[in-house]
Amino acid sequence: MNTTTRRTLARTIEATRRYGDVLALDRVSLDIGAGELVGLLGPNGAGKSTLISLFAGLRRPTSGTVELLGGSPADPAVRQGIGVTPQETGLPEALKAGEIVSFVSAHYPSRRDRTDLLARFGLAGLADRQIGGLSGGQKRRLAVALAFAGDPRVVFLDEPTTGLDVEARRTLWEGIRSFHAGGGTVVLTSHYLEEIEALAQRVVVIGRGRVLADGSVQDVRDVVGVRRVSFAAPAVPDLPGVLRGSVENGRVHLLTTDSDLLVTELVRAGTPFADLQVRPTSLEEAFLTITSKEETRA
């Protein structure tokens, strides 16, 4: 990683956040450098949104430190340099798309041109439309556009493309890429590996409130690129490269990073089997695998 050579714009040092008895973030230390496009990847409840809310000044850490642009996120003057995306379900329905952009950008010393911003997120010509009259995808893009309204240095995008169709997703990606190409820093969360692959250079995998992996997209894909090989067989044969195995209703399920090798060895072992299936695991499964490795190591 060459992040140490960049100037740090945001960071947490041993940040822990509890909600009552629940530990949402567990001593997370993370540096976000100027000009980076960082993807936070993890299943629901992993702590991604909590981490974003610490950077956005919405919550304070239970212990540890959060720094933003050399100051504290709790300071409104510091937050002039950031942009955050609201949940689209909460946009004030009675206001018009253009009005909401003007309202948000009025909080910032420098602001993006409204027409240009709307056009960039595929909302050209909709400035006079009431938000209640926009489609779900249009609301989602408007919500993401709001993060950029104040011409920020860093944007924090929490699940920016959830619920969007492919085309709307690509429009949004273009908007995010062009901001990054202009020198902007982006931190986004997702539970889609492909979204992170399409946008991010650096991926931080978060699970159960901890940073499980931090590296390039390729590094992380190797870690989470786990496949599930399953077949019907009377017993579990001894095979190489199995991360995790289980038997359910006479079917053997094996998780592995190298399914080709595993299948070759399965055939070579001569064990009788039927109905072979190889499919990519869900991120959820991949995380469980990483997390359990983490735990056995600890």
SS3 call for 50: helix
Does residue 82 touch other proteins according to CB under 8 A? yes
The nearer residue to other proteins, 93 or 167, going by C-beta atoms, is 93
Q: Which stretch binds other proteins (CB under 8 A): 56-64, 174-182, 245-253, 283-291?
A: 56-64
Amino acid at 290: I
Amino acid at 11: R
Per-residue contact flags (x/-) with other proteins for residues 257 to 296, judged by CB under 8 A: ----------------------------------------
Does residue 250 touch other proteins according to CB under 8 A? no
19-28 long-range contacts, CB within 8 A, separation 24+: 23/209, 24/50, 24/209, 25/50, 25/51, 25/54, 25/61, 25/209, 26/208, 26/209, 26/210, 27/64, 27/210, 28/64, 28/206, 28/209, 28/210, 28/211
Task: Count residues binding other proteins (CB under 8 A).
Answer: 30
The nearer residue to other proteins, 40 or 82, going by C-beta atoms, is 82
The nearer residue to other proteins, 111 or 227, going by C-beta atoms, is 111
Does residue 97 touch other proteins according to CB under 8 A? no
Exposed/middle/buried for residue 275 (C-beta within 10 Å: 0-12, 13-18, 19+): exposed
The nearer residue to other proteins, 108 or 192, going by C-beta atoms, is 108
4: number of Cβ within 10 Å:
8
Q: Which stretch binds other proteins (CB under 8 A): 100-108, 165-173, 188-196, 199-207?
A: 100-108
Q: Which stretch binds other proteins (CB under 8 A): 85-93, 116-124, 183-191, 268-276?
A: 85-93
15-44 positions binding other proteins, by CB under 8 A: 19-20
42, 47, 150, 207: which one binds other proteins (CB under 8 A): 150
Strands ordered across the beta sheet of 274-280: 242-248, 251-256, 227-232, 274-280
Residues in contact with other proteins by the rule CB under 8 A: 19-20, 56-60, 76-80, 82, 84, 86-87, 89-92, 94-95, 99, 103-104, 106-108, 130, 150
